[in-house]
Amino acid sequence: MHNSLLLQIDSAMGSGIMGQVFLFGSIILIMYFFMIRPQQKKQKDTAKFISDIKKGEQVVTVGGIHGKVYSVEGDIVTIDLDKGVKIRVEKSALSLDYTKKLSTEK
């Protein structure tokens, strides 16, 4: 009788540990699909946007400056703000989100 009680306690403890492992595994999966994966996709989209910048495209910088790409030289983009007014910015200063927003408003 004493041995059967120990077996019941031992099996109950084993299933509790498996339940906790399953719970933590589920939490990690949920975090991956709702937090990590979308962030990785956004980084990939931003990198593609920056590498595909071409002359004549309308862009918006992270600081909110709107303009048209005048030239691209390596990591530097010259943006034409108005007739004769140009600024040079790093490609990383261009915002994919704001540029998408600008194109959907038109």
pLDDT tens column, 46-74: 899 998 899 999 999 998 899 999 999 98
Q: In angstroms, how far is CA 103 from the centroid of its own chain?
A: 20
Q: Which residue ranges make up each domain of the chain?
A: 1-52, 55-106
Residue 19 exposed, middle or buried by CB count within 10 Å (0-12, 13-18, 19+): exposed
Query: Do residues 99 and 65 make contact, with C-beta atoms less than 8 angstroms apart?
Result: no
The pair phi, psi for residue 65, each rounded to 5°, is -85, 125
Top CATH class, 55-106: mainly beta
Residue 102 pLDDT > 70, yes or no?
Answer: yes
H-helix segments, 32-91: 37-51
Residue 14 pLDDT > 70, yes or no?
Answer: no
3-state secondary structure of 57: coil
